[in-house]
């Protein structure tokens, strides 16, 4: 076991001063010497703590409007000097440099500035030079220096300062050094993204992670990178698993497509039930009718508040996760009867415009599919035109189909998913599966509509759909044999819309 190290000299240079006073108070109790510059120096003085200006050490003023303050051999010599190297100690004495044991830095908010303004001059001025240099120097010399590279580490620092002789070990300093390099990596990545205009770069903050219960299967380990607390407030339940996260992501993507009161049930990233009605209780009951078997152990999501009436109904089945924008207190009391049931209150957040996946040990990135199918006169390619109710159903079906695994066929009637065939290698298989499933659960297809995520190369799907009772179809079109499907529809009194937008999802 290694011994801790006393902290005599501390350099503080932070942009965000929040919660800094707690650290200053502890440093004072420990009789540590505090050095600072610029706005941080002014803040420490205003709070009544003794502090020495960096300029008093370097005998050089802050210049270029504050662009150069700490970049000086007397500062970096004190950070990079190795206590176990005789030559380093001799040079410190020769040039009257004293060593620092603690560096506290919080960088200029470059990423936040880019989000808030397009003014290039303001953005450029928020590129931190001295702060990053201080962090990297201290992290490199972790054997002698403890580095705090983000205000989120203040709480941990306070614990260390409470007993530095015991807690400020080389193992601790190495851990903080690792976090420091991670923080500067994320910071530099944001700057590179701005200058290169490469919007495909992964933006998730790798400083925030949690280990899931296990991966896709119990024998696999998995880690989530990012801050889930920015998206959800967890109100109940066990730890969120890898598979839960995949289903939650699919659920959130799907429900975002709908404005009116809508309830959806998902299993293995696909909707097995979804309905839109004037109120949530009817939406829930109709969504459940689609496939009450698959709903068992599923992920539930809605876009309105869950009240006690709805809670009593959904409490009748077993499910893994429930997501809603809000919950009545009475509803929560009912839902919390099952302690493992995951209940998430969804916060308002902005979807990332880029999605990523691992491929061949590399990362494959693409723009998200944000296109929404619309039905205009020019998109209707058949003699028969869809009715207003059919148009509503076609748009509804298209939204569900867009969020289903390819090959996908979706059957809808009265803004309710009747059935779907998803993840099939053949579009015909997907349609036949949807029809058989609808029959199994006693869901009437006649008068319903069909959506396909890609074009029909042959008229076989519209033939099968017609025989099953489908009256209108939406598909992207684009096959060199589109006319075969159009001709069949015209000959058999079906309406068809060609959206011009394919929605593959693999």
User: Any idea which residues carry the catalytic annotation?
Assistant: 140, 268
Task: Name the residue among 485, 443, 450, 455 with its Cα closest to residue 470.
Answer: 450
Which residues, in sequence order, are bridge partners of residue 68? Answer: 63
Residue 500 C-beta-side C-alpha neighbours within 13 Å: 7
Cα gap 506→501, rounded to integer Å: 16
Q: What does the buried/exposed string (b/e) look like for 224-262 if buried means 16 or more CB atoms within 10 Å of the residue's CB?
A: bebeeeebbeebbbeebbbbbbebbebbbbbbebbeebb
End-to-end CA distance of the chain: 51
Helices (H), 373-481: 388-402, 427-440, 460-468
Cα gap 77→371, rounded to integer Å: 56
**CA pseudo-torsion sign 213, 217, 223, 226:** negative
Residue 491 C-beta-side C-alpha neighbours within 13 Å: 9
Cα gap 218→146, rounded to integer Å: 38
Contacts of 230 (CB under 8 A, 6+ apart): 347, 349
Q: Are strands 9-14 and 102-106 parallel, antiparallel or unpaired?
A: parallel
Contacts of 101 (CB under 8 A, 6+ apart): 5, 6, 7, 8, 9, 10, 144, 145, 146, 168
Task: Name the residue among 157, 122, 158, 127 with its Cα closest to residue 15.
Answer: 127
Q: What does the buried/exposed string (b/e) look like for 343-370 if buried means 16 or more CB atoms within 10 Å of the residue's CB?
A: bbbbeeeeeeeeeeeeeeeeeeeeeeee
Cβ atoms of 108 and 149 closer than 8 Å: no
**CA pseudo-torsion sign 162, 166, 169, 171:** negative
Question: Hey, what's the torsion of the CAs at 275, 325, 312, 255, to 10 degrees?
Answer: 20
Q: Check residue 148 and report its DSSP letter.
A: E
Q: Are strands 9-14 and 33-36 parallel, antiparallel or unpaired?
A: parallel
What's 464-486 look like in SS3?
A: HHHHHCCCEEEECCCCCCHHHHH
Task: Name the residue among 397, 502, 403, 501 with its Cα closest to residue 448.
Answer: 397
Cα gap 308→451, rounded to integer Å: 35
């Amino acid at each position: 076991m290694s011994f801790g190290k006393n902290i005599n000299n501390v350099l503080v240079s932070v942009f965000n001063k929040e919660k800094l006073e707690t650290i200053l108070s502890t440093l004072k109790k420990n009789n540590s010497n505090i050095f600072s510059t610029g706005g941080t120096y002014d803040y420490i003085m205003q709070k009544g703590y003794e502090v020495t200006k960096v300029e008093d050490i370097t005998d050089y003023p802050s210049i270029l409007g504050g662009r150069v303050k700490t970049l000086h051999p007397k500062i970096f010599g004190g950070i990079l000097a190795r206590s176990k190297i005789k030559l380093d100690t001799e040079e410190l004495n020769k040039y009257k440099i004293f060593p620092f044991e603690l560096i506290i830095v919080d960088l200029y908010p470059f990423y936040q500035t880019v989000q808030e303004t397009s003014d290039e001059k303001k953005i450029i001025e928020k590129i931190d030079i001295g702060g990053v240099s201080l962090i990297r120097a201290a992290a490199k010399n972790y054997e002698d220096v403890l580095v705090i590279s983000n205000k989120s580490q203040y709480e941990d620092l306070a614990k260390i300062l409470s007993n530095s002789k015991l807690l400020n070990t080389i193992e601790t300093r190495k851990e903080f050094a690792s976090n420091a390099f991670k923080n500067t990596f994320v910071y530099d990545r944001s700057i590179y993204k701005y200058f290169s205009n490469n919007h495909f770069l992964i933006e998730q903050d790798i400083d925030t992670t949690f280990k899931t219960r296990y991966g896709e299967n119990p024998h696999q380990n998995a880690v989530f990178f990012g801050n889930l607390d920015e998206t959800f407030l967890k109100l109940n339940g066990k730890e969120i698993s890898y598979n839960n996260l995949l289903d939650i992501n699919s659920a959130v993507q799907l429900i975002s497509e709908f404005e009116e009161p809508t309830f959806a049930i998902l299993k293995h990233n696909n909707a097995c039930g979804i309905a839109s009605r004037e109120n949530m209780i009817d939406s829930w009951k109709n969504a459940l009718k689609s496939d009450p078997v698959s709903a068992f152990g599923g992920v539930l999501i809605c876009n309105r508040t869950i009240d006690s009436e709805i809670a009593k109904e959904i409490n009748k089945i077993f499910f893994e996760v429930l997501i809603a924008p809000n919950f009545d207190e009475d509803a929560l009391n009912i839902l919390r009867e099952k302690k493992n049931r995951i209940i998430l209150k969804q916060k308002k957040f902005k979807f990332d415009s880029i999605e990523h996946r691992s491929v061949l040990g590399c990362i494959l990135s693409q723009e998200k599919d944000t296109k929404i199918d619309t039905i205009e006169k020019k998109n209707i390619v058949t003699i028969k035109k869809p009715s207003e109710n059919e148009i509503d159903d076609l748009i509804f079906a298209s939204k569900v189909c867009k969020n289903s695994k390819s090959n996908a066929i979706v059957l809808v009637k009265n803004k309710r998913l009747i059935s779907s065939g998803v993840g099939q290698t053949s579009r015909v298989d997907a349609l036949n599966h949807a029809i058989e499933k609808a029959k199994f659960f006693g869901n009437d297809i006649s008068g319903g509509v069909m959506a396909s995520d890609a074009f029909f190369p042959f008229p076989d799907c519209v033939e099968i759909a017609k025989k099953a009772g489908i009256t209108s179809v939406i598909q992207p079109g684009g096959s060199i044999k589109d006319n075969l499907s159009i001709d069949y529809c015209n000959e058999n009194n079906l309406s068809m819309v060609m959206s011009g937008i394919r929605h593959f999802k693999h």
